[in-house]
Amino acid sequence: MIDVTGVDAMAAAQRTVHHLPTEIPENRLSRLLFADTRLAWFWLLVRLYVGWGWLHAGWEKLHNPAWAGAKAGTALGGFVAGALKKTAGANPDVQGWYAAFLKAVVLHHLVIFSYTVSLGETLVGVALILGVVTGIAAFFGCFMNMNYLLAGTVSVNPIWFVLALFLILAWRVAGWYGADRWILTELGTPWDPGIVFNRTRHRIA
C-alpha cells in the first residue's frame, strides 16, 4: 500500500504558495503622501523651492563666460581640480573611481560638460517650477546632486537630493498644480496609456 499522505501535503503546500499575493498593498500614509491630490499643494511648495534653486544656479552659469561663453570650461576646470585634491587619505571625500572619471572624461571635454551643466540646471529648474514631467525632472536633479556630492561638494546638495527623491516618489501628484495635470492625462504612462496614445491606437485599429 502506497502512503500518499506526504505527497498530498506537499501538493497542498505548493498550491498555498502559488496563491500567495505577489503585490503588497500600499498603506494609507503612503497613498496620502504620494498619490492623493489633497496634498498636491505641499509638493508644489517643494517643487518651487528646489526648482528655483536649480533655475537660479543654472541661469547664473548661462550668463557667466567661464561656464557658457568665450571662456566656457574654465570654471568647471577649477571645480574638477578642486575635487581631485580631495582624493588623498584613508577616507577621501572623492573616491578613486570617480576621480578617474573626472580625469579621463570630464577634463578632456570641459566645454561640453560646462554647457551641459549650465543648461541642465536651468532646464531642471524650469521643469520643476512649471510642473512639467516632474518625476523625470526630479530624477535629473538627483543625478546632478549625486555628481556634486561625489565630487566632494556638500552645500545644499544633500537637501535637494532628498527633496528630489520625494518628488520622484510623488510623481503622480507632485505636478498636479502644474502642467502635469494635463500632460499626464494626455500621455499617461507605459502601463496606462493616456488620451493621446489611446487615440493613436484607435486610429490604427
Tens-place pLDDT, residues 48-86: 999 999 999 999 999 999 999 999 999 999 999 999 999
pLDDT in tens, 143-163: 999 999 999 999 999 999 999
* Mean pLDDT to the nearest integer, 24-36: 88
pLDDT band at 203 (very low <50, low <70, confident <90, very high): low
**Helix runs in 105-192, H state only:** 110-130, 134-150, 157-169, 171-174, 180-187
pLDDT tens digit sequence for 93-139: 999 999 999 999 999 999 999 999 999 999 999 999 999 999 999 99
CA 166 to chain centre: 9
> What is the DSSP secondary structure assignment for residue 134, as one 8-state letter?
H
125 vs 27: which has the higher pLDDT = 125
Biggest CA pair distance of the chain: 93
Q: Is the pLDDT assigned to residue 43 strictly greater than 90?
A: yes
- pLDDT, residue 2, reads 46
Q: What distance in Å separates the CA atoms of residue 186 and residue 105, rounded to the nearest whole number?
A: 39
CB 186 within 8 A of CB 195: yes
Over residues 26-42, mean pLDDT: 92
pLDDT of 42 > 60? The answer is yes
pLDDT of residue 22: 78
As a whole number, mean pLDDT of residues 37-54 equals 97
What pLDDT, on a 0 to 100 scale, did the predictor assign at position 182?
92
Reduce the DSSP state of residue 133 to 3 states and report it.
coil
Q: Are 136 and 97 in contact (CB under 8 A)?
A: no
Give the end-to-end CA distance of the chain in Å, rounded to a whole number. 61
Beta bridge partners of 189: 192
Residue 4 has a pLDDT of 47
Q: Is the pLDDT of residue 11 over 60?
A: no
Residue 195 has pLDDT above 90, yes or no: no
Determine the 3-state secondary structure of 90 from DSSP.
Answer: coil
Q: How large is the average pLDDT for residues 9-19?
A: 56
Tallying the residues shown for the chain, one arrives at: 205
**Distance, CA of 145 to CA of 99 (rounded, Å):** 16
Q: Which of 112, 110, 109, 123 is nearest to 58 (CA)?
A: 123
With vertex at residue 93, the alpha carbon angle to CA 87 and CA 97, rounded to the nearest 5 degrees, is 55
pLDDT number for residue 65: 97
Under DSSP, is residue 193 helix (H, G, I), strand (E, B) or coil? Answer: strand
**DSSP state at residue 49:** H
168, 33 in Cβ contact below 8 A? no
Residue 37 has pLDDT above 50, yes or no: yes
